[in-house]
Structure 1
Amino acid sequence: MNWDQIKGQWTQYKGEAKVQWGKLTDDDLDVAAGHRDKLVGRIQERYGYEKDQAEREVDEWGRGISNRP
């Protein structure tokens, strides 16, 4: 699944993102609104991650939701 699809179905995936990154608030997820770069930024802020680490986690999460039946 690409990020255009994730963005289009963000309301469905927002809860899963909250489970994955529990420190993100509902406001954080609303601001991200399925935009990969905004989600990476929010994860960096909340977890103190370097950009590369946050990008890896987001990409891995995106692949995980796309591999579901």
Structure 2
Amino acid sequence: MNWDTIEGNWKEYRGKAKEKWGKLTDDRLDVIAGRRDQLLGEIQKSYGVSKDEAEKQVTEFEEAKRDVPS
């Protein structure tokens, strides 16, 4: 699975994103709308982490979703 799949099915994946990054509000998740770069920026801002750390977290999220049937 690639990020396009997550973006295309964001309504399904946003709940999992909310579980992982609880500081992200529903409104912010709606604005992100599955866009990877937007998610990275929100994680950096909300959690005060580096770009590399945000990238690592999003990559882990993406890899974990490979195991979820679509």
Shift of 1:28: 1.3
Give the corresponding residue for 2:20. 20
Pair 1:62 & 2:41 matched: no
| TM-score normalised by the chain length of structure 2 | 0.93
2:27 alignment partner AA: D
The share of aligned pairs that are identical, in percent, is: 55
Please list every run of at least 4 consecutive aligned residues from structure 1 whose deviation after the TM superposition is greater than 2 angstroms. none
User: Number of paired residues?
Assistant: 69
| TM-score normalised by the chain length of structure 1 | 0.94
C-alpha distance in 2 between matches for 1:30 and 1:68: 22
Give the corresponding residue for 2:31. 31
Q: CA RMSD in A?
A: 0.8
